[in-house]
Amino acid sequence: MQTLEKANTIINTIKNNIEKMGRQLRIIEVCGTHTVSIYRNGFHTLFKGYIDFISGPGCPVCVTHEGYIDNLIELAKMNYTIYTFGDLMKVPGKSMSLAEAKSNGAKIKIMYSPVDAVENIAEDEEAIIAAVGFETTVPAFALSLEKVLEKDLKNVKFACELKTIDQPLKVLLKDHIKVDGLILPGHVATILGVDGFKFVEEFEIPSVISGFEKYDILLSLLSLTQSILDNDFTVKNEYKRVVKKEGNTVAKRYIERFFERTDAYFRGLGLIEGGGLRLKSEYSSFSVQLKYDYESFSNSACRCADVLTGKLKPFECPLFEKVCTPQTPKGACMVSQEGSCNAYFRFGKWK
């Protein structure tokens, strides 16, 4: 029981720190996996009245535009085989999701790993890999392109909708949201390192890189509340077992070798300068040109955009739980297992 007492001590210290400030803290967890961990472990109720947790734009599925889905479906109709991660399957496009297109006969295959997918693509298959994700996932796409080059495959292309974390965070902190502290994404930081998040310090908001287990979250909240008390804006690292100061340098070199910055559309934040990655021009023959209208949303009642910018809690959306459920999602925040609407729906006790 000694360690249980330690946990209680940490919880009490976090609460005491906040009591010293005399107000409820607004803390944003940038990554969807943190959102899930916070709600699954009941931290939103444990710290009720102490911390208001806001879900940020760090779930790649949630910030993907419906137009990207429509483009993939169009390509599938042109007899390409689309390889995608499973969590993109239910995201609604204008008229249907990839899952519905698949049930209508479109050639859409779920991949677990883009590297494995490339190894197993048949010679006579015209394949398009749906490249979606933040820096955590980009190295896997870089490795898969390397394999395409090694094997001299002419039948594999990439539909890039890759995102970077720094630019949207800057936009969010500058224009959209006022928070007391940030829980930074541990797996993006695994690639980028603590150094990759030093830019947060310029905003003079305390932050901590966190792992995803419940004890990781507790230690991160302890660190964060102490930073807030001390007006300490240094990025703290509470995921030291994985995250290094410089990150994974091999992975970063892979990203730099194949990708370059481009503007990217984020659901909720709009078009962000330098917010995405595309294949470098020397690899453009492996890239699919995507075209869609950023402004068009098929379901104007969906409030994903407001949820992703902390303006609205999921249960305040008129569609939440009524017509929008994980079985019948109307927006990407309900589709993804890492989406805040999905986490609220599954783990409840939000009111």
Partner 1 sequence: MCLGYPAKVIEILEDGKKAIVDYLGLKKTVNVSLIKELAVGDYLLIHSGVAIEKIDEKEAEKIEKLFGEVRNANS
Which residue's entry shows tokens 């990439």? 158
* Cβ-based nearer residue to partner 1, 140 or 269: 140
- Are 280 and 167 in contact, with CB atoms under 8 Å apart? no
**In the complex, minimum distance from the CB of residue 64 to partner 1, in angstroms, rounded to a whole number:** 10
Sign of torsion over alpha carbons 287, 288, 291, 294? negative
Q: Please state the closest distance from residue 45 (CB atom) to partner 1, in A.
A: 14
Hey, which residues does 184 pair with through a beta bridge? 209
215 vs 315, beta carbon nearer partner 1: 215
The least distance separating partner 1 from the CB of residue 250, rounded to whole angstroms, comes to 5
CB 337 → partner 1: shortest distance, Å?
8
In the complex, minimum distance from the CB of residue 96 to partner 1, in angstroms, rounded to a whole number: 21
Residue type, 223: S
DSSP class of residue 60 equals T
Looking at the Cβ atoms of 142 and 319, the one nearer to partner 1 is 142
Provide the minimum distance between the beta carbon of 224 and partner 1 in the complex, in angstroms, as a whole number: 17
Residues 225/231, Cβ–Cβ less than 8 Å: no
DSSP class of residue 198 equals G
**Pick 93 or 114: Cβ nearer partner 1:** 114
Q: Would you tell me which residues interact with partner 1 (CB under 8 A)? A: 1-4, 6-7, 31-33, 58-61, 85, 87, 112-116, 132-134, 136-137, 139-140, 143, 185, 187-188, 190-191, 213-216, 218-219, 240-244, 248, 250-251, 254, 336, 338
* DSSP assignment string, 246-271: S--HHHHHHHHHHEEEEEEEETTTEE
Whose Cβ is closer to partner 1: residue 51's or residue 142's?
142
State the nearest-atom distance from the C-beta of 295 to partner 1, in Å.
Answer: 25
Closer of 8 and 104 to partner 1 (Cβ): 8
Residue in 70, 74, 148 with CA at minimum distance from that of residue 107: 74
DSSP states of 108-143: EEE-S-HHHHHHH--TT--EEEEEEE-TTTHHHHHH
DSSP secondary structure letter of residue 8? H
Is residue 351 helix, strand or coil?
Answer: coil
Q: Considering beta carbons, is residue 109 or 244 the nearer one to partner 1?
A: 244
Nearer to partner 1, 94 or 244 (CB): 244
**How far apart (Å, rounded) are the C-alpha atoms in residues 272 and 208?**
24
Nearer to partner 1 by Cβ, of 242 and 323: the residue is 242
What is the bridge-based pairing of β-strands 156-163 and 270-279?
Answer: antiparallel
Shortest Å, Cβ 84 to partner 1: 10
CB of 202 to partner 1, least distance (A): 25
Pairing between β-strand 127-133 and β-strand 156-163 as defined by DSSP bridges: parallel
Q: What is the DSSP string of 311-346?
A: SS-GGGSTTBTTTB-SSS-SSHHHHSTTSHHHHHHH
